[in-house]
Amino acid sequence: MTFVSQVYGWLLLSSVGLFWLFPARSSRLWVLLGASLLFYGLRQPFYVPLLLTGVFLNYGLGLLLRSEGRLIRRYVGGPDPQYRQRHRKRLLGLGIGLNLLLLFGFKYVPFVLNSLGWALQQPGLLDAASWVDQIAVPLGISFFCFECIAYLVDVYRGAPPALDWLSFCTYKLFFPKLISGPITRYHVLVGQLDRLDRPRWPLPDRVVEGCWWIACGAVKKGLIADSLGIWVQTVFGPGTLERAGSGDLWLAIGAYGFQLYLDFSGYVDMARGSALLFGIQLPANFDFPYFSTSIADFWRRWHITLGDWLRNYLYIPLGGSRQGLIRTCINLIVVMVLGGLWHGDNWGYVLWGAAHGVALAVHRLVDAASRRFATLEALWSHPAGIALAWILTQGMVFISWVWIRLPDWGQSSLVFQRLWGRPTDVYFLEKVYDEALGLDPWRLGTILVLLALTMGLAWVLQCGLRLQLVRSVKIALVPLCLYLVWVLGPEGVPFIYFDF
């Protein structure tokens, strides 16, 4: 089941109706939990017990991590603070280890076996990797484990643990965010879960806003991103990639950059809109990232909740920027390599993360040099310097998307080799542009320019002028947007981040 489907629509409508029918907080939590289990069970019913087991384990570890209270004193066997602190560290290590073991066991075993088999020239390891790779990976396992680790670390640092199992289980399995986020900390959401019995009836403004976000997300994903995906798949698909010219590859890279952003931000819009129908606000995950003028600013705007997780639970524990410039650059590279590996079990993802880590390190070095040299600082504050910074940032971002779209080293290296001076094959022109797409390269390029201009207009209206559509206009546009997606959108295209 995906968000852009009639089944999800019926599930959402029925669960929203039941939610507001029962006024008690506990009843509403049970409605959300039941809807979440049904949502996941319709896709992968055999992994529902695994998720529930993971919830129970992390809930129990959170209770044991309390530095004070009867349970921890009884378990430790004494009131000695130093002994309890050492024990809490062991418990935290156990919790992090179990979550990483769950993530590694399902997601990275084939990658490790393949890498070892290739390095050691052992066919048995390669055969084992092929066999293990046939096991389906639980949907949302990366987001699930990252949220659990964040919860345990927060409790270890002094945040109160969850005392109500139903509230914690509902938080962990809340279906709008379960598969692809946004990554939401328990202590950010728990206050809203504690107030689920208020208000008694849904607020009209929130209902309209929730439906509007769902409609906008559906248009982004089902109408624009999926249509761009057909184009991208045609160019990067087997049999056509080898015949594509440099101009074709640049167009496809640009199209994939827009597809990835619209696909994922469309998912987040629909997730936030769905949650808002229950009176719950999920955190924002995007803030016009393609208008960033530095790679650091890009990561403050792209996948905001993942960037926040990497910063708080990897970068800062590694030392952050407190141990000198060189150590800061090393920390940035290490964190981004791990962030790339989180996206997938392939060396292409590692290279993507390493590229962003190096870019962040270079930005930190340039920033340090700018503080020492007034001329360099004046350059980056000048309009020409700002434009140059934007071109360099977005050029790096879009080119690095090649490793995400084509994580296989042979395919991605072929793209990089042919970005300059490669003419388009006649077969490619006929089969791709004429027969498959029905558009010439100039029209496709115009479509990308129009998309960029539309994003620019949206940025000016929302961030510059602070303008919003009135409620009546949103009410009128919601059914129109959903109808257009239903009639014109390609069917059965999964969300890209379901694979991550």
Instruction: Write out the two tokens for 19.
Output: 């939610």
What residues are labeled active site?
A: 343
- Reported residue count of the chain is 500
- Which residue do the tokens 């179990």 mark? 98
- Which residues are CB-neighbours of 474 under 8 A, at least 6 positions away? 208, 209, 211, 212
Instruction: Write out the two tokens for 76.
Output: 């430790």
- Which residues are CB-neighbours of 434 under 8 A, at least 6 positions away? none
Question: DSSP class of residue 241?
Answer: G
- Which residues are CB-neighbours of 46 under 8 A, at least 6 positions away? none
Nearest residue to 345 via CA among 145, 181, 106, 156: 106
Nearest residue to 185 via CA among 300, 282, 57: 282
CA angle in degrees (0–180, nearest 5) for 303-269-495 = 70
- Which residue do the tokens 């009131």 mark? 79
**What is the CA 467 to chain-centroid distance, rounded?**
27
- Which residues are CB-neighbours of 150 under 8 A, at least 6 positions away? 183, 185, 186, 309, 312, 313
- Start-to-end Cα distance in the chain: 17
